[in-house]
Amino acid sequence: MVPILSGRIQTRLFLLALVGSVVTLALVPLLPGQAPLSERYGDAFVLLAAVAVLGIGWELLYHLLMQLRWEKDWPSLFGLLTGVPEGLLLWALLRAGAVPLAGSAPPGWVFAVHFGVVWLAVWLVANGPMRVPFLRWRFRGGRLV
Amino acid sequence: MEYVSAGLPGELTPRLLREPQWTDAMVDEAGIEVRDVPFVSVGGGIGSFVTVNYLRIAGVPADRIAVLSTIDHPWQTYEYLTRVSQIPRLERIRSDSSSRPDNIWGFPSYALAEAWRERTARPLLHVLGEPVFTDYWTPRAGTVFAGLARESARIGYPDMLVKGVVRMVRRRAGGGYFVILTPPAGSTATKRVAYRARFVHLAVGYPGLKFLPDLQAFRETYGDFHHVVNAYEPHEHVYEYLKTTPGTVMVRGGGIVASRVLQRLMDDRARYGLQTEIEHVFRTYVSGAHGPHIGSRRKGGHGFAYQGFNYPKSVWGGQLKARMRRLEGEQRAAEYRRMGGTNTPKRRKWQQQMRTGREAGWYRAFQGTVEEVHPGPETRLTSIVKCGDDTRKIVSDFIVDCTGLEADIADHRVLDDLLTHGGAGRNPLGRLDVERTFEVIGTASGDGAVYASGTATLGGYFPGVDTFLGLQVAAQEITDDLARRGWCDRLGLLRSTSQWIRWALGRPVEGSAAWSRS
């Protein structure tokens, strides 16, 4: 899929809500933590929401960078690697206590596993299976509505 | 196959030829057999196939569709053209991994399927790195044909295929159309057969090849079809000759076909130790990156403009697709000019071969306009080439025209008739004017519609028409438009998913002969 700006944002929000939630539901009980499960879920979903909200800003930046490309495309590798700066920024904000509703920052590796697995799952779905139920999605620059 | 049935009844009458709209009685009076099929696709190539594929998957039964064609299977013409232009079955075509004419979802992509089939992650790693670290991964021609054969059987395509030459499409009084078919001689009781259809789809492909004017003049003047060839016609004799005698080939053009012909010449040179020399003439010589501003530059060099596919990638679903959809008239034509132009992929192997040739002096590329070609000395050819202020005489044994010029759409009989009698018009690039839904503007007839897809519609609201993915974009728009008209179901989320599962399991689409037997 070669995105347009609204398609980028819609796809991100949709896939984080769907794939991100499923992955989070499955993963959180497997990650270590002292707090009760419900609290850990709460923190994990706040993180997910933060990826979505910050992501709107990131997508604007990616859209601007894409304008420097002749083909106005966004190679799938970019979609994977942009997880690194996004993850680092979110981690920094967490550590600084700048993410509203978030509890204390989890251990670094727990954050990395959660963020990494969600990112990878969303990227994988966006690069193939998404086209099965949403037949028109790839021809509309990622727009769902 | 013979298509002339002298002496049979059912010929087109002068009245039918004259009238833009026919009544049932007029066709009856002419004694032409009438067959009722609501959706008729004319062409039978990949354009017809992907459209019919969409409709079948959307739930349209096979007996409500007819494909009128002179070819036996949808990839026949494509395979012929790729083979003669130096892409045999084992070579890779210029098409994206997820542009699958045998799979409307594009998933699994060709790369994923190849990785699965050959139990290797290499195609996937290749796709991951493209186009930044590697060339675009592209499928083998043979893989594409095998997939089409499988899907053709799955949707019952042979049941829908009717052999014959389509002569014209005329409006029918009361709505819909008559499509006049000339079947193979002896196969029907009447010379012509009229398909009475509510919807007609035209996917007739390239109207024909056009030669460069100087090469056309040479062939007409000297009757020499041996030394001056078009890359899209069989020209194996050129390569065979060079294996026996050292010679010089002039290559004209800077697109993918020129790259393919160069590769063949250079591969043979290396493989058989030949002495082949290559003179490569570019009418437009691209010496570096080019474009209107820093954010809009295409790579280029040594004559070529470089691009992975024949259009910038975002025409198939990204920004350029969205932008073009809003443009009209001259603005649209200008946008086509901005992103268009002949181009070829920057493949590492080709770059290496050309570099070797340039350094050794046997590959010579230059900008020039050929003014005239004449025979001699002896059996060779002399091209008079204007290079800036100089005029050079270039002697070669063969000239291969790789410019891929296309004939005017009116050179195709059915399109010409539609322009003359059917109300169709031309778009800003001079081709068939279609709506965003691919309905041919001006041809509506009652509750019926004529659609067109493929190269005949280049210049419309969607640019990438003459590509696998472009044909699928058109097929989707057409299917959605037919659903809006209430003729078929809209292919929604659940049906799309359930049909994909059937595809993955190789199970036939409902409503085909194969399905009723399963």
ipTM for the complex shown:
0.95
Nearest Cα of chain A lies from the Cα of B513 at a distance, in angstroms, of 26
**C-alpha B469: how far from its chain's center?**
11
Residues of B with CB below 8 A from A3's CB? 318
Question: What does the pLDDT read at residue B510?
Answer: 82
Q: B158 Cβ partners below 8 Å, 6+ apart?
A: B152
pLDDT of B518 over the 50 cut: no
Question: What does the pLDDT read at residue B300?
Answer: 95
> Which one of B132, B320, B321 has the shortest CB-CB distance to A75?
B132
pLDDT of A64 over the 60 cut: yes
Mutation to test the B interface, candidates A72, A123, A137, most B Cβ within 10 Å: A72
pLDDT in tens, A76-132: 999 999 999 999 999 999 999 999 988 888 899 999 999 999 999 999 999 999 999
Arithmetic mean of pLDDT, B294-310: 90
pLDDT of B25 over the 80 cut: yes
**C-alpha B344: how far from its chain's center?**
16
Structure tokens at B119: 């139990």
List Cβ<8 Å contacts ≥24 apart for B237-245: B238/B398, B238/B400, B239/B264, B239/B265, B239/B268, B241/B397, B241/B398, B242/B268, B242/B274, B242/B276, B242/B397, B243/B268, B243/B272, B243/B274, B245/B397
Q: Report DSSP state, residue B509.
A: P
- Closest among B52, B44, B40, B47 to B456, alpha carbons compared: B47
**Cα–Cα dist B418/A52, whole Å:** 52
- pLDDT bin (cut points 50, 70, 90) of residue B3 is low
For chain B, say whether A100 makes contact (Cβ under 8 Å): no
Arithmetic mean of pLDDT, B298-320: 93
pLDDT in tens, B147-180: 999 999 999 999 999 999 999 999 999 999 999 9
> Which one of A73, A133, A134 has the shortest CB-CB distance to B318?
A73
Q: How many other β-carbons are positioned within 10 Å of the β-carbon of residue A21?
A: 15
Q: Name residue, tokens 């193979």.
A: B184
Q: B73 Cβ partners below 8 Å, 6+ apart?
A: B148, B149, B152, B157
pLDDT in tens, B393-450: 999 999 999 998 788 999 999 999 999 999 999 999 999 999 999 999 999 999 999 9
Using an 8 Å Cβ cutoff, are B456 and B202 in contact?
A: yes
Q: How many other β-carbons are positioned within 10 Å of the β-carbon of residue B41?
A: 29
pLDDT of B4 over the 80 cut: no
Burial label for B378, CB within 10 Å (0-12, 13-18, 19+), is exposed
Mutation to test the B interface, candidates A18, A69, A73, most B Cβ within 10 Å: A73
- Closest among B385, B381, B302 to B344, alpha carbons compared: B302
For chain B, say whether A139 makes contact (Cβ under 8 Å): yes
Query: What percent of chain B lies above the pLDDT cut of 70?
Result: 97
For chain B, say whether A98 makes contact (Cβ under 8 Å): no
Q: Which residues belong to CATH 3.50.50.60 in chain B?
A: 14-77+146-207+408-517, 210-287+344-405
**Cα–Cα dist B305/B298, whole Å:** 7
For chain B, say whether A4 makes contact (Cβ under 8 Å): yes
Q: Alpha carbon of B85 to those of B62, B124, B230, B258, B311: distances in Å? A: 34, 28, 9, 9, 20
Structure tokens at A71: 């083909």
Residues of A with CB below 8 A from B316's CB? 2, 139
pLDDT in tens, B179-209: 999 999 888 888 999 999 999 999 999 888 8
On the CB side of B393, CA atoms within 13 Å amount to 8
pLDDT of B6 over the 80 cut: no
- pLDDT bin (cut points 50, 70, 90) of residue B7 is low
pLDDT in tens, B218-249: 999 999 999 999 999 999 999 999 999 999 99
Q: A23 Cβ partners below 8 Å, 6+ apart?
A: A117, A118, A121
> Which one of B297, B318, B491 has the shortest CB-CB distance to A141?
B318
- The mean predicted confidence, pLDDT, of chain B is 94
Type of residue numbered A17 = A
Residues of B with CB below 8 A from A73's CB? 312-314, 318
Question: What does the pLDDT read at residue B209?
Answer: 80
Structure tokens at A64: 């601007």
Q: CB A132 to CB B108 under 8 A?
A: no
Burial label for A97, CB within 10 Å (0-12, 13-18, 19+), is exposed
- Closest among B157, B168, B186 to B71, alpha carbons compared: B157
Structure tokens at B123: 């195609």
| Residues listed for chain A | 145
**Cα–Cα dist B130/B137, whole Å:** 7
Mutation to test the A interface, candidates B105, B298, B462, most A Cβ within 10 Å: B105
- Closest among B456, B150, B493, B300 to A14, alpha carbons compared: B493
Question: What kind of architecture, by CATH, is found in domain B210-287+344-405?
Answer: 3-Layer(bba) Sandwich (3.50)
Nearest Cα of chain B lies from the Cα of A48 at a distance, in angstroms, of 25
Arithmetic mean of pLDDT, A27-35: 92
pLDDT of B515 over the 70 cut: no
On the CB side of B216, CA atoms within 13 Å amount to 8
Question: What does the pLDDT read at residue B513?
Answer: 55
User: Domain spanning B14-77+146-207+408-517 has what CATH number?
Assistant: 3.50.50.60
Domain boundaries, chain A: 5-26+38-140
As beta bridge partners, residue B439 has B451
List the end-to-end C-alpha distance of chain A, in Å, as a whole number: 16
